[in-house]
Amino acid sequence: MGSEQLHITLIQPDIVWENKAANLQQYEEMIGGVKTPKHVVALPEMFSTGFSMAPERLAEPMEGETVTWMADMASKYRCILTGSLIIEEDGKYYNRMLWVQPDGRVGFYDKRHLFGYAHEDKHYTKGETRLIAQVNGWRINLMVCYDLRFPVWARNQGEEYDVLLYVANWPEARSLAWRTLLQARAIENQCYVVGVNRVGKDGKDIVYTGESSVFGPLGEKIWQQANDAVAHTVTLEKGELQQVRTKLPFLNDADKFLLL
């Protein structure tokens, strides 16, 4: 039996450029300050460093300090901790989104669509498979930033998942696309969509206004926050999702296809 409710805490920080210690300390304080119930705590893309193209200096193995810290936080606060960081494995670098459970088990999704505009594809290896994680009967499809622009990769074929979760470093210059595409993904997939972004300025003077957002299965805006660093918990309702899918069974009429 699953839970009718899912509590997701969105952490929208001002990431300190390439300073892991400062960032992890910041997150520990932000997570510790959340007094509401939380099943999942979501950090942004490359949460420990910012969106850096220097994996040679910054990458860690899966046994490294940041993954260990995530496991410690998940255990301490009895929640699932997720977000992406720079991982080195078999001589390759990945923008890897981890799903760290309180019991120490770790799942991961490697970012599929690498951001060629910033030469991410020159430094990192793309992922090949999706990860639909589960918590309390809820199915959550994990995605990273630029994946948002590619709807086929996120397509809900039938009712594969209930929540699309995007973690990002999405700049202010393209914030209209961020808001619009998050809402569109919710409508077309009849699911909740959660987008977790950052604020502040990175080491390349790129400005971020956050606008972390939660949209419902009809595209309705449940929560959105711009400009401020914040930790905020939203509660998603399984009954509302099921009601929409039953009343408006649009997913049944979708084209069938395989991702090869």
Query: Of these residues, 145, 172, 191, 211, which one is catalytic?
Result: 145
Query: Of these residues, 20, 38, 45, 60, which one is catalytic?
Result: 45
Query: Of these residues, 20, 111, 120, 172, which one is catalytic?
Result: 111
Structure token pair of residue 212: 């972390």
DSSP run (H or E) holding 224: strand 221-226
Active site annotation includes 45:
yes
> In 179-213, which positions are buried (b, 16+ CB within 10 angstroms) versus exposed (e)?
bebbbebbbbbbbbbbbbbbbbebeeeeebbbbbb
Tell me the C-alpha distance between 217 and 191, whole Å: 4
Active site annotation includes 191:
no
Pairing of strands 40-42, 207-215: unpaired
Structure token pair of residue 88: 């080195």
Beta sheet of 5-12, edge-to-edge order: 106-110, 92-100, 80-89, 40-42, 5-12, 230-237
State how far Cα 61 lies from the chain centre.
20
Residues 149 and 113 sit within 8 Å (Cβ to Cβ)? yes
Contacts of 21 (CB under 8 A, 6+ apart): none
Active site annotation includes 126:
no
> Which residues are the active-site residues?
45, 111, 145
